[in-house]
Amino acid sequence: MSFNLAARLAARHTDNLYRQRPLLQSPQGPVVQVDGKEYVAFSSNDYLGLANHPEVIAAMQQGAAQWGVGGGASHLVIGHSEPHHQLEQALAEFTGRERVLLMSSGYMANLAVITALVGKGDTVLHDRLNHASLLDGGLLSGARFSRYLHNDMASLSQRLQRAQGNTLLVTDGVFSMDGDLAQLPELAAQAKAHNAWLMVDDAHGFGVLGQTGGGLVEHYALSTEDVPVLVGTLGKSFGTSGAFIAGSEELIETLIQFARPYIYTTSSPPAVACATLASLHLLQTEHWRREHLQQLIAQFRQGAQALGLNLMDSPTPIQPILIGDSGQAMAISAQLREQGVLVGAIRPPTVPVGSARLRITLTAAHTAEQVQQLLDALAVCQLEVSNE
């Protein structure tokens, strides 16, 4: 009785915030089967189209044959196997950092780093639009917690001046729901000036940005000194699962000793590390995937502008269309679905209240024809056009 779950669930419905899980009945890809119907989908984070790539699948199969399925124990006990170790070394080379620590998920990686580096008496500064896992890491750490206005250096500077103790400045690289970029060179300069450390979670930048897919830090050519803590996830452009933290030898050793979300969990299946080694190779060498993606982004933005849609300032495969009202975002998502196009409606609390949006994501596996199909479907929907 006292929990009153029924009332909470009912309120979620009346607020148009009730969430349902679409049932995926095919592998991830530009065309998927969902709830018994086929759609052209623009909603996954498989930006390079590697989640169902034959070479990655083969690497996972061979990995499972050689290493079995389960990790079997935590890394510190006896779960740290050779494929995990090889992947850490390959990712260190890829990111140009001294050392890398492999984690089971990005959510855990962020909890691990923040709680190991700061605590009571310290300060964590967040961009307002940071991913939930970064905010949760800050809360769990017990450090003083403050959010600055999105990408606003003046707002950040005020907070840096008031910061106490060890200060960690935390930002998404590519903002996950908006697609825009953190101003990393400015952030790195501010951090340095105030003796703070900059931590970048580039979940959506790796694979997509940079000449070899090294993400926003490669794009801006920033060193370990500029960005002492770099987080990447493996479930997006890499197409597999897990995450990594890259930095100095000392940082990684500190995490191994003190990061509870690293210490107290079973290692991920070694075969997943084998698959990720294969996808890392494709991600680095098949530059055409990034080029094709950029062409699709340009095509989509041109077409959407011609339709007068509310595009955001995004140079990345995340191309949201701002709607505002949650009910309307859901209605438009349903209209698209009727036309065979799947796009997620993202609502609060994932995004700020009043900024519900269609989160369109493009991937290297899409064709120009499929992007045109999306634009044609959007043209039919009753969308508010921008008044610019």
- Strand ranges across the sheet with 123-127: 99-103, 243-247, 229-233, 197-201, 167-172, 123-127, 144-148
Using DSSP's 3-state secondary structure scheme, residue 358 falls into: strand
Determine, following the binding rule CB under 6 A, whether residue 131 of this chain makes contact with ligand PLP: yes
Q: Which residues pair with 39 in a beta bridge?
A: 32
- Binding segment for ligand PLP (CB under 6 A), chosen from 106-114, 190-198, 251-259, 266-274, is 106-114
Identity of the residue, 49 or 309, whose beta carbon is nearer to ligand PLP in the bound complex: 49
Catalytic residues: 176, 204, 236
Closest CA to 335 of 323, 349, 353: 323
- Binding segment for ligand PLP (CB under 6 A), chosen from 18-26, 102-110, 180-188, 308-316, is 102-110
Determine, following the binding rule CB under 6 A, whether residue 323 of this chain makes contact with ligand PLP: no
- Binding segment for ligand PLP (CB under 6 A), chosen from 104-112, 149-157, 365-373, 380-388, is 104-112
Site for ligand PLP in 133-162 (CB under 6 A): 133
The residues, any chain, with a CB within 8 Å of residue 82's CB and separated by 6 or more, are 67, 270
CB of 130 to ligand PLP, least distance (A): 8
CB of 227 to ligand PLP, least distance (A): 15
CB of 3 to ligand PLP, least distance (A): 28
Determine, following the binding rule CB under 6 A, whether residue 28 of this chain makes contact with ligand PLP: no
Determine, following the binding rule CB under 6 A, whether residue 289 of this chain makes contact with ligand PLP: no
DSSP β-ladder status, 37-41 and 31-34: antiparallel
Alpha carbon 79 to its chain centroid, in Å, reads: 26
Please state, in angstroms and rounded to a whole number, the distance separating the CA atoms of residues 307 and 44: 24
The residues, any chain, with a CB within 8 Å of residue 189's CB and separated by 6 or more, are none
Please state, in angstroms and rounded to a whole number, the distance separating the CA atoms of residues 296 and 302: 10
Determine, following the binding rule CB under 6 A, whether residue 279 of this chain makes contact with ligand PLP: no
Please pick, from the candidates 135, 243, 283, 377, the single residue that binds ligand PLP as defined by CB under 6 A: 243
Determine, following the binding rule CB under 6 A, whether residue 360 of this chain makes contact with ligand PLP: no
Determine, following the binding rule CB under 6 A, whether residue 235 of this chain makes contact with ligand PLP: yes
Determine, following the binding rule CB under 6 A, whether residue 105 of this chain makes contact with ligand PLP: yes
Determine, following the binding rule CB under 6 A, whether residue 361 of this chain makes contact with ligand PLP: no
Per the structure block, which two tokens stand in for 323?
């709607």
Contact between 327 and 366 (Cβ < 8 Å): no
Identity of the residue, 209 or 378, whose beta carbon is nearer to ligand PLP in the bound complex: 209
CB of 110 to ligand PLP, least distance (A): 6
Identity of the residue, 163 or 203, whose beta carbon is nearer to ligand PLP in the bound complex: 203
* Residue of closest CB approach to ligand PLP: 106
The Cα-based distances of 325 to 113, 128, 222, 350, 353 in angstroms read 36, 20, 39, 14, 9
Please pick, from the candidates 75, 84, 204, 357, the single residue that binds ligand PLP as defined by CB under 6 A: 204
Alpha carbon 202 to its chain centroid, in Å, reads: 7
Closest CA to 238 of 201, 200, 271, 208: 208
- The site that binds ligand PLP (CB under 6 A) totals a number of residues, namely 14
Binding residues for ligand PLP (CB under 6 A): 105-107, 110, 131, 133, 172, 176, 201, 203-204, 233, 235, 243
